[in-house]
Amino acid sequence: MLLNPKNYQTTCTDPVFRSLVEKTIEFFENKGLSRIKQDDQSMVWYEDFLDFIKEGQVFATLLTPASYGGNDHNYRWDMRRICEYNEVLGFYGLCYWYAWQVTILGLGPIWMGQNEELKHRTAQLLKQGGVFAFGLSEKNHGADLYSSEMTLEKNPAGGYLANGSKYYIGNGNCAVLVSTFGKYKDSGEYVFFTAEPDQPQYDCVKKIDTSGVRQAYVAEYRLNDYPVKDEDIISTGEHAWNSSLNTINIGKFELGCASVGICTHAFYEALNHASARRLYGRSVTDFPHVRRLFVESYVRLAAMKMFAWRTVDYLQVASDDDRRYLLFNPVVKMKVTGQGEQVIDMLHEIIAAKGYEQDTYFEMAIRDIGMLPKLEGTEHVNMALIIKFVKNYFFSPVDYPEIGRRSEPSDETYLFQQKTGGLATIRFPDYERAYQHFTSENVTLFKKQVDLLREMLVATPPDQEQVKNVDYMLAAGELFTLVVYAQLILEAAQLEGQQPTLVEAIFSCLVTDFSRASLNMVLSYELSEDQEARYKAMIQKPAQQQETFNDLWREVILPLQDEYTMNP
293 within domain boundaries: yes
Residue type, 501: T
Task: Say how far apart CA 273 and CA 442 lie, in whole Å.
Answer: 32
The CATH number of whichever domain residue 217 belongs to comes to: 2.40.110.10
Same-domain check for residues 534 and 472:
yes
Q: What is the dihedral of CA 556, 557, 559, 564, to 10 degrees?
A: 120
pLDDT of residue 380: 66
Q: Which helix (H) or strand (E) holds 395?
A: helix 390-395
Task: Say how far apart CA 172 and CA 179 lie, in whole Å.
Answer: 10
Same-domain check for residues 364 and 458:
yes
Q: Are 50 and 98 in contact (CB under 8 A)?
A: no
Buried b / exposed e across 425-436, counting CB within 10 Å, b at 16+? ebbbbebeebbe
* End position of a domain, from candidates 81, 98, 130: 130
Same-domain check for residues 146 and 123:
no
213 within domain boundaries: yes
pLDDT of residue 484: 98
117 within domain boundaries: yes
The set of long-range contacts for 19-26, using a CB threshold of 8 Å and a minimum separation of 24, is 20/56, 20/58, 20/61, 20/62, 20/85, 21/84, 21/85, 21/88, 23/52, 23/56, 24/52, 24/56, 24/58, 24/85, 24/88, 24/89, 25/88
Phi, psi torsion values for 277, nearest 5 degrees = -105, 135
Q: Are 442 and 303 in contact (CB under 8 A)?
A: no
Task: Say how far apart CA 4 and CA 305 lie, in whole Å.
Answer: 14
Same-domain check for residues 517 and 479:
yes
Helix axes 337-351, 361-369, angle to 10 degrees: 140
Range of the domain at 187: 133-237
Same-domain check for residues 301 and 442:
yes
pLDDT of residue 407: 76
* End position of a domain, from candidates 112, 130, 148: 130
Q: Are 226 and 163 in contact (CB under 8 A)?
A: yes
Task: Say how far apart CA 18 and CA 109 lie, in whole Å.
Answer: 28
- CB atoms inside a 10 Å sphere around CB 146: 8
- Residue 178 β-bridge partners: 133, 195
pLDDT of residue 10: 87
Same-domain check for residues 275 and 211:
no
Closest among 134, 161, 160, 135 to 148, alpha carbons compared: 135
Buried b / exposed e across 31-50, counting CB within 10 Å, b at 16+? bebeebbebbeeeebbeebb
Task: Say how far apart CA 199 and CA 193 lie, in whole Å.
Answer: 15
Same-domain check for residues 455 and 495:
yes
Q: Which helix (H) or strand (E) holds 234?
A: strand 233-236
Task: Say how far apart CA 358 and CA 46 lie, in whole Å.
Answer: 19
CA atoms within 13 A on the CB side of 407: 10
The CATH number of whichever domain residue 52 belongs to comes to: 1.10.540.10
pLDDT of residue 281: 83
* End position of a domain, from candidates 198, 214, 237: 237
pLDDT of residue 117: 97
pLDDT of residue 149: 94
Phi, psi torsion values for 247, nearest 5 degrees = -65, -40
pLDDT of residue 377: 55
418 within domain boundaries: no
Q: What is the pLDDT along the chain (568 residues), one digit of tens a residue?
A: 899 999 999 888 899 999 999 999 999 999 999 999 999 999 999 999 999 999 999 999 999 999 999 889 999 999 999 999 999 999 999 999 999 999 999 999 999 999 999 999 999 999 999 999 999 999 998 888 888 999 999 999 999 999 999 999 999 999 999 999 999 999 999 999 999 999 999 999 999 999 899 999 999 999 999 999 999 999 999 999 999 999 988 888 899 999 999 999 999 999 999 999 888 888 889 999 999 999 999 999 999 999 999 999 999 999 999 999 999 999 999 999 999 999 999 999 999 999 999 999 999 999 999 999 887 555 667 788 888 999 999 999 999 999 998 778 899 999 999 988 899 899 999 999 999 999 999 999 999 999 999 999 999 999 999 999 989 998 999 999 999 999 999 999 999 999 999 999 999 999 999 999 999 999 999 999 999 999 999 999 999 889 999 999 999 999 999 999 999 9
Same-domain check for residues 266 and 218:
no
CA atoms within 13 A on the CB side of 458: 9
Q: Are 181 and 244 in contact (CB under 8 A)?
A: yes
Closest among 269, 260, 243 to 304, alpha carbons compared: 260
190 within domain boundaries: yes
Buried b / exposed e across 184-195, counting CB within 10 Å, b at 16+? bbeeeebbbbbb
SS3 at position 224: strand
Q: Are 242 and 293 in contact (CB under 8 A)?
A: no
568 within domain boundaries: no
Number of domains the chain contains: 3
Same-domain check for residues 183 and 269:
no
Closest among 158, 160, 135, 138 to 148, alpha carbons compared: 138
Task: Give the angle 345-348-354 at the CA atoms, nearest 5°.
Answer: 155
Same-domain check for residues 159 and 265:
no
SS3 at position 119: helix
SS3 at position 380: helix
Q: What is the 3-state secondary structure (H, E, C) of 280-298?
A: CCEEHHHCHHHHHHHHHHH
244 within domain boundaries: no
Q: Are 87 and 94 in contact (CB under 8 A)?
A: no
The CATH number of whichever domain residue 526 belongs to comes to: 1.20.140.10
Residue type, 475: A
Same-domain check for residues 328 and 286:
yes
409 within domain boundaries: no
Same-domain check for residues 154 and 21:
no
